[in-house]
Chain A
């Protein structure tokens, strides 16, 4: 292959717990090379201290997200030839809006705490002795929930969001997206407290519909649309005649 002789010029934003700096690396190109392959090559051949996260390598686990040439992406499913131009330059930095632990590994504690704050967990209404409720796949609520499930908790939307960047307390697109799926879950009984949580100062009304989240979600979810749903629901809730969004 003629591409084999070429080298990528990779710049990585580093943090060692005390200072921020950059390192540059020359990485041989390969066919079908992903950005995760590049980072792994650097750690194995050039700098064993480079810290980053991954697990599944196939876009399931959501642990490998980073900023690639300035855009948040999942590194395991981002092909190098899709993000570099003829200059073969690649810039890699950690996700935004989360404290950096080391190099490309960020602390996602607050990100996940916000899911809890948004009541992004299932609130059961029945016990295991009750019969399972039948939810038809084409029922209205199921169809609405459908658009926003399959989130892999990668934090890409959270990193893309400028409102999170401006307001540390904002729950952010992932947690609000999860809250919206639960609002449409017939079996769930937490709507009231969830609606209160998402209409708090930190909640859905912070969103300016910039659609950074929906633009970058690797699973093609639309958190911004879910947030619009929450905004409608909170609005309907204060109107005397409205209670359900349908």
Chain B
């Protein structure tokens, strides 16, 4: 089955939104575990925080910021589309949302190194 009918920006926006949503859902439990360690005492939190200094963990964090920004801004775009009657150009809006997300993740990366 050819999938050419999917080669338009808003279908891609849907995929990005779903993947980022699912990835966030996977990440959040881990995030809460780390926060939970803070309640269990300083030592385990410290080792967890030391873990978060590792370069590949840093890279993963930048990626997560990207995911969150993409999902948040993309989600706002969908809400504007569905809940208001503003007839903005959705294709341009989804591209801008993605661009802005990359910029946000870029700033995070820049401040992290």
Which residues does A use to contact B, with CB under 8 Å?
67, 69-72, 91, 96, 159-160, 162, 208-212, 215-216, 225, 228-229, 231-232, 235
Chain B residues with a Cβ closer than 8 Å to the other chain, count: 17
Question: Which residues of chain A come closer than 8 Å to B82, judged between CB atoms?
Answer: 209, 228, 231-232
5 other contacts beyond A159-B5, A160-B5, A210-B10, with CB at 8 A cut-off?
A67-B5, A70-B4, A96-B1, A162-B6, A209-B10
Is the CB of B51 closer than 8 A to any CB of chain A? Answer: no
Task: Report if A211-B2 is in contact (Cβ < 8 Å); known contacts: A228-B82, A231-B82, A235-B83.
Answer: no
Chain B contact residues: helix, strand, loop or mixed: helix
Contact B11 A70 (CB under 8 A): no
Contact A70 B3 (CB under 8 A): yes
Question: Which residues of chain A come closer than 8 Å to B102, judged between CB atoms?
Answer: none
User: What would 19 A/B residue contacts be, using CB atoms closer than 8 Å?
Assistant: A67-B2, A69-B2, A69-B4, A70-B4, A70-B5, A159-B5, A162-B6, A209-B14, A209-B82, A210-B10, A210-B11, A211-B8, A212-B6, A212-B8, A215-B10, A216-B5, A231-B82, A232-B82, A232-B83
Bound-complex Cα distance A225 to B85 (A): 9
Is the CB of B44 closer than 8 A to any CB of chain A? Answer: no
Bound-complex Cα distance A37 to B87 (A): 38
Bound-complex Cα distance A218 to B93 (A): 24
When each residue 1-37 of chain B gets 1 if its CB lies under 8 Å from chain A and 0 otherwise, what string results?
A: 1111110101100100000000000000000000000
Question: Which residues of chain A come closer than 8 Å to B64, judged between CB atoms?
Answer: none
Contact B2 A215 (CB under 8 A): no
Question: Which residues of chain A come closer than 8 Å to B8, judged between CB atoms?
Answer: 211-212, 215
